[in-house]
Amino acid sequence: MYITAAVLSVLLALVTLAAGAPKAMLKGDVTAQLQSHMGLGPGLIRFIGLAEVAAFAGLVVGLFWQPLGIAAAIGFGITMIGAVGFHAKAGDYADPAARGNAMAPVVLVLFSAATAVTLALAM
């Protein structure tokens, strides 16, 4: 079970780093889209990015100390639940053109839950 938990943790950690680093530095297309389409300010975008980078660090350290990995996976899942709410508020799930990008947080919520559960079972 630990191997499964480790693989899920590493994959989720890579996703959190890839998603969080551009937001934390306020660079890239995603940051511009969050500002224009979602109406988020730079401070909130940077906060979200830093939370995602912190999830990366927690998941990496959580490979050696599972309680931190579980907390990081749950925290990232909560962040993605917030993203689902923002996408719903913006009407992205009703718009066929935006639905694909809006589904990523839904998948990541499930992936975060699976990671947290496998880390808990691996203890």
Integer Cα distance of 18 and 36 in angstroms: 21
Assigned token pair, 58: 């927690």
Integer Cα distance of 99 and 77 in angstroms: 19
pTM of the model: 0.90
pLDDT band at 99, cuts 50/70/90? confident
3 state SS of 62: coil
* Confidence (pLDDT) at 65: 93
Integer Cα distance of 107 and 47 in angstroms: 22
Assigned token pair, 88: 């719903």
Integer Cα distance of 25 and 90 in angstroms: 24
Residue with tokens 């962040």: 79
Q: Among 17-31, 32-46, 74-88, which is the least confidently predicted range?
A: 32-46
